[in-house]
Amino acid sequence: MDKIRIGIVGYGNLGRGVQYAASQNKDMEVVAVFTRRDPAAVQTVLPVKVKRYDAMREYVGKIDVMILCGGSATDLPAQSAEVVQLFNTVDSFDTHARIPEYFEALDAAAKKAGHLGAMSIGWDPGLFSLARIYFGSVMPDGGTYTFWGKGVSQGHSDAIRRVKGVKDARQYTVPVESALERVRSGENPVLTTREKHTRECYVVAEEGADLARIEREIKEMPNYFADYDTTVHFISEEELREKHAGIPHGGFVLRSGKSAADNRFLLEFSLKLDSNPEFTSSVLVAYARAVYRLHAEGKTGAVTAFDVAPKYLSPLTEAEQRKELL
């Protein structure tokens, strides 16, 4: 079997995760990692060539799908429309408000080049988006709820680190169990931001810092914490390293509603992940298979998880899928 040849652009947590995930799929091989750092300084988790970002062009015809592992804030908006001129791509763009413009830019660049780019792939956006569209489509009269956690929010952890006197921090987003139970009971409640999630912060302060001020500044931070019930725990650097080194996450999508004859339905999708980036990577790799197959069928432009039939994700043949999974 000819393997699907994967390139990895960017080698942080997500890039490492993609390399691990590709190693679990027999029909894939990672050809090279591309980085804007000094390639000699990049240590990979499994053996693979590491090349400069600018060397990508030499791999045209040698890589089928590039998996873009940069961040959504600045990396992906610049990279995706650029890389898709040379290769098919998959990315995990997750800045929700900018999805429409990102789609337009990627779609135009991909169509012009005759390539295919899958965007906003992962678990949210990604699998959770799938739950929302399937659940809403099969149950028109109802309400959809998304809860995140318990898990580490990198963005919120970073926000705490920017507070004066903070040396390091880890923030957990925690779904409110009683709110989940209200949804499961079929009540279809209107829930405020505060009612859905709490925020738990583990903070290492610099020596002699004013802890009361740090706690106040965190709790009053607009957008990040002000709308939530927030708890701040000051801990030692050692405890942070020992107990909060992982990047777990999880969450729930629920839809509760009813038939025209007033019979109630409840649908729930949940996931629990010891490593958020490693799972996101695993989803990216499955969509790389889909991108490879769809492009082989002549599909070009930008797609999201909504545009990809599930059969394209599975390593099984279509006949095997029907026999074993249907």
Q: Which is nearer to its own copies, 124 or 215 (CB)?
A: 124
- Tell me whether residue 69 is annotated as binding: yes
For residue 125, whether the previous peptide bond is cis, meaning omega lies within 30 degrees of 0, is yes
The verdict on 129 binding its own copies (CB under 8 A) reads yes
Binding mask 89-118 for its own copies (x = CB under 8 A): -------x--xx--x---------------
Binding segment for its own copies (CB under 8 A), chosen from 156-164, 190-198, 225-233, 259-267, is: 259-267
The verdict on 140 binding its own copies (CB under 8 A) reads yes
Binding mask 268-307 for its own copies (x = CB under 8 A): xxxxxxxx--xx--xx--x--x--------------xxxx
- Tell me whether residue 263 is annotated as binding: no
For residue 51, whether the previous peptide bond is cis, meaning omega lies within 30 degrees of 0, is no
User: Cβ(90)–Cβ(288) under 8 Å?
Assistant: yes
- Tell me whether residue 292 is annotated as binding: no
The verdict on 29 binding its own copies (CB under 8 A) reads no
* Amino acid at position 245, single letter: A
Give the Cα separation of 153 and 324 in Å (integer).
37
∠ Cα 18 23 28 (to 5°): 90
Q: Which is nearer to its own copies, 225 or 287 (CB)?
A: 287
The 3-class secondary structure across 168-221, one letter per residue, is: EEEEEEEECHHHHHHHHCCCCCCCCHHHHEEEEEEEEECCCCCHHHHHHHHHCC
Give the Cα separation of 311 and 326 in Å (integer).
11
- Tell me whether residue 199 is annotated as binding: yes
- Tell me whether residue 325 is annotated as binding: no
The verdict on 1 binding its own copies (CB under 8 A) reads no
User: Would you call 108 exposed, middle or buried from its count of C-beta atoms within 10 A (0-12, 13-18, 19+)?
Assistant: middle
Contact set with its own copies (CB under 8 A)? 17, 20-21, 23-25, 45, 96, 99-100, 103, 120, 125, 127, 129-134, 136-141, 259-261, 263-275, 278-279, 282-283, 286, 289, 304-311, 313-315, 318-319, 321-323, 325-326
